[in-house]
Structure 1
């Protein structure tokens, strides 16, 4: 069984009802009615193509990639420097 790399996307929309159709592009994790965004997981290999398709939709304002891959999760190194 292969583990597929996923990429998180924050999709800012104009209409929440229309945003439900984003489920065809990937897995909807969260929909914020107040802030009007959808958090969506897509396949990492085809992410660029999916982002391009999402940006062309009339009810989408902007698409932001998740910054999780840029964050360092090595907390042991930070703890050692704080103790010194």
Structure 2
């Protein structure tokens, strides 16, 4: 008898949110709305992640809480993260074959 041990794992798209608060006493309320990643007790802010599909409605709920000073969303998912066109040629950052990809020599953009 064979047991199927494969597990399908799906990545959930998330977006970061920085929540500035007046007091950290109500931190439990924020934990219910998303994943709390970091809490700064000195500067009184919370870094948390929310699921992308319900990000806007959760952000609005957090903004309406009485202990929240302000909310700043992360813009990283909206930014193009491919910088090869901006800093040099595309060929400098693409491996032609397997051996070049795993070699230890440093390739500069002008030598490619």
Q: TM-score, normalised by structure 1?
A: 0.84
SS in 1 for 2:26: helix
Q: TM-score, normalised by structure 2?
A: 0.65
The equivalent residue for 2:13 is 5
| Alpha-carbon distance in structure 2 between the residues aligned to 1:17 and 1:26 | 17
CA contact (8 A) 1:4 1:43 kept: yes
Q: Which has a greater percent of strand?
A: 1
* Structure 1 runs (4+) greater than 3 angstroms displaced: none
The alignment's C-alpha RMSD in Å is: 1.8
Rg (Cα) greater in structure: 2
Aligned residues: 83
Instruction: Write out per-residue CA displacement over residues 16-61 of structure 1, whole angstroms, 9 at most, x where no aligned residue.
Output: 1222431100000001112211011011101111111111111001
Runs (5+) with no aligned partner, structure 1: none
Task: Please tell me whether residue 40 in structure 1 is matched to residue 28 in structure 2.
Answer: no
